[in-house]
Structure 1
Amino acid sequence: MALSKIFTGRFYAANAAIFFLVFYFFFGIVPGNMLLSYHLTLIRGFTGNTDFLCLVLLGWTVYNAKCALFVLKTLSARESLYLYATLGVLDGQQKWLTWFRIHFSLYMPALVYSSAAVWIALRDKHIGAAVTIVLFQALMSVIPLFVYDRKIKNPGTTSLFIRWQQKLNRLFTKPLWAYYLYELLNNGSRSLFITKGVTGLVIIATYSLMEQPYELRFMLVGLLLVLLAHTVLVFNHRQFDDLKVSIAIQLPLPLWKRYVHTTFGYFVLLLPEFIFLAVRTYQVAGPLDQLLFICLSVSMLVMWRMLLYFPRLDQDKYFRWVLISIVISLFMILGYLYWYVVIGWQVLAFTIFATRYYKYEPPLAEVQ
């Protein structure tokens, strides 16, 4: 009972907002009489599609990592030192059962939903998907137990991720374009993984719903939705620059090189989507189409970032201009003016950057 309050109660309390959003997405937006069919369609969607299943497994992996990191963080807290005296004396079967109960109580939502998925997959004769889910969840339930046990036995050791991060920092000097990506991986991983999960679903849905033959305009419309999912990450980029790398303006770099750094940073940010798109469309989309996907995506994200050099552009106005640019791009795409969109947004982005970069002053609210 005491351990459940320390780990389970605190975990669900700390992540109540996230669980509310997930619950609303899975149950709140669906009418009661359609709830069962909605979940049956969703489960049959990922048990019958390998790409969709991989995306779901990735989501479960992220959630499992979140559970494990919470336990490790709790064990590392100064006020939790007494847990080493309590859990450290356990041995044998009792020790592993205790760790399993703790981890199961945190990871239980994923296990319950995956159990339903296995049952439906077996009924639909998707044996491969059912076996994959069972083996995957077995690993997700067992591997963290050894991590917890190692932490109890070695309370003063630094985690493998932290050691790898420190070693990487010693070996490599981060270029300017990588600063914000590094920040997202360390302090914005939640929003980053949610964004990538949403964009993966959009790409799968776009390609799956597209009627044959292959239609470039249909794929580009889906790509606009992928880019729209990144707007929050782009908006937060300004705050990161204002608070943590404001000294970058004093670096002896020409303006064009600064622009190239920003462009390359967004290319790397979108690299998972580019790879996924290439895997999904390589049989029907030629190299020129793949290049168009990359150029359009990077151009729009860079243009949205440059809009934020107008300091009075708050979040509401920013999203308003984002939607306007989406609509303009949509009409130009429907008019087959693909490369005009790319050139237009690049010209606008560089013009704003060249005229506003050295004049920009961070809003007082962000500086404070």
Structure 2
Amino acid sequence: MALSKVFTARYYSRNTGFFLLVFYFFFGIVPGNQLLSYHYALIMGFLTSTGMLLITLLIWLLYNLKCMAYVQKTLSARENTFLYATLGILEGPRKWRTLYWLHFTLYAPVLVYSIAAILIAVKIHAYLPAIIILVFNIIMTIMPMRSYDHKIKHPGTTPFFSDWVQWLNRRFRKPLWMFYIYELLNGNVKALALTKFAGALVLLMACSFIGDQPDKRVVLVGLLLNLLAHGVLIFNHRRFDDLYLSMLPQLPVPLWKRYMQTGTTYLLIMLPEFILLLFKTGPADLLLYITFGLSILMLLRSLLYFPQLDQDKYFRWVFLVIVAGLFLSLAYYYWYAVVLFQLTAFVIFYFRYYRYEAPLQEVQ
């Protein structure tokens, strides 16, 4: 009971916003009389498509890593040092049962959905996806046990993931344009995960409306909503540069190269979405989706080189850019939109990059 209050109860209370968002996308946007058919169609989608199944397993893996990180962080907290005396005295099967139940209570939302998926898979005789989902979740619930046991026996050590990151940092020299990606993966992983989860659901819903002949307009509408969700990450990019890379303009790097490096950063950030579109729509129009998405993100980033553009004004511009992209897409002016947004982004970048000065409250 005490462990449940320390781990399980606090986990769900601290992640209330995350679970409310998940609940909204799974239940809030669908009328009550269509909930069963909606989830049945969603489960059938990843049971009958290898690409969607892989994406689903990846999302579940990310959630499992989130649970593991929470337990490790809780064990490392100074106010929870008593846990080492409580868990350290456990031995044999009782220890493994306790650790397993601890992780099981955190990973339970995925297990509930997985059980429903397995039952449907058996009903439609999709035995291979059922076995894959079963084995995957067994691994996901057993895998953390060893890391938790190691942390309890060696309180002063860092988790395996942190050790791996430190090992990678010693052997791989990150270019400056990758610093923000590294920050997202380490210091702001919750915002990144929420954005990717919401964006993937939007794209999957958009792709579910297309038939054998994909309508580019439908896909672009889903992509625009996905880019809207990424607007927060773009705004935080300026804040990160202001705080940690304010001396970057002093480096002898050509302006065109700086622009290309920024675009490469956003290409890597959007890579999961573009891989999803490749699986769902094929390679024929992938170049359009990539250039369309990057042109809008580059325009949003270039607008932030106007220092008087605070968060409220920025999101007004985000809304205007998304609406402009929506109208141009519905009018079949896809490539005109790409050229327009990209040229506007580069012109603003060209004239504003070296003139930009970070607000004092950002650099202090």
TM over 0.5: yes
Deviations 1:19-49 (A, max 9, x none): 2332343344444444444433433343343
Partner of residue 313, structure 1: 309
1:55–1:200 CA contact under 8 A, matched in 2: no
1:52–1:201 CA contact under 8 A, matched in 2: no
Partner of residue 321, structure 2: 325
Distance 1:14 1:305, change over 3 A: same
Q: Which amino acid aligns with 1:101?
A: W
TM-score by length of 2: 0.90
Q: Does 1:293 align with 2:284?
A: no
Partner of residue 340, structure 1: 336
Note the C-alpha offset of 1:144. Answer: 0.9
Partner of residue 243, structure 1: 243
Note the C-alpha offset of 1:174. Answer: 1.9
Note the C-alpha offset of 1:138. Answer: 1.0
CA distance in 1, matches of 2:269, 2:333: 26
CA distance in 2, matches of 1:246, 1:358: 11
Equivalent residues in 2 for 1:180-329 (5 A)? 180-282=180-282, 285-286=283-284, 289-329=285-325
Equivalent residues in 2 for 1:164-183 (5 A)? 164-183=164-183
CA distance in 2, matches of 1:223, 1:5: 41
Deviations 1:54-76 (A, max 9, x none): 32222221221111111111222
CA distance in 2, matches of 1:52, 1:291: 21
Structure 1, unmatched stretches of 5+, are none
Note the C-alpha offset of 1:341. Answer: 2.1
How big is the alpha-carbon RMSD for the aligned residues of Structure 1 and Structure 2? 2.4
Partner of residue 69, structure 1: 69
Distance 1:43 1:330, change over 3 A: same
Structure 2, unmatched stretches of 5+, are none
TM-score by length of 1: 0.89
**Worse overlay, 100-109 or 198-207:** 198-207
Q: Which amino acid aligns with 1:55?
A: I
Partner of residue 350, structure 1: 346
CA distance in 1, matches of 2:203, 2:9: 37
Distance 1:63 1:216, change over 3 A: closer
Partner of residue 357, structure 2: 361
Distance 1:42 1:337, change over 3 A: closer
Note the C-alpha offset of 1:365. Answer: 4.2
CA distance in 1, matches of 2:341, 2:160: 42
Note the C-alpha offset of 1:218. Answer: 4.0
Note the C-alpha offset of 1:183. Answer: 0.7
2:267–2:294 CA contact under 8 A, matched in 1: yes
In the alignment of these two chains, the number of paired residues is 364
Q: Which amino acid aligns with 2:259?
A: Y
CA distance in 1, matches of 2:94, 2:168: 39
Note the C-alpha offset of 1:188. Answer: 1.6
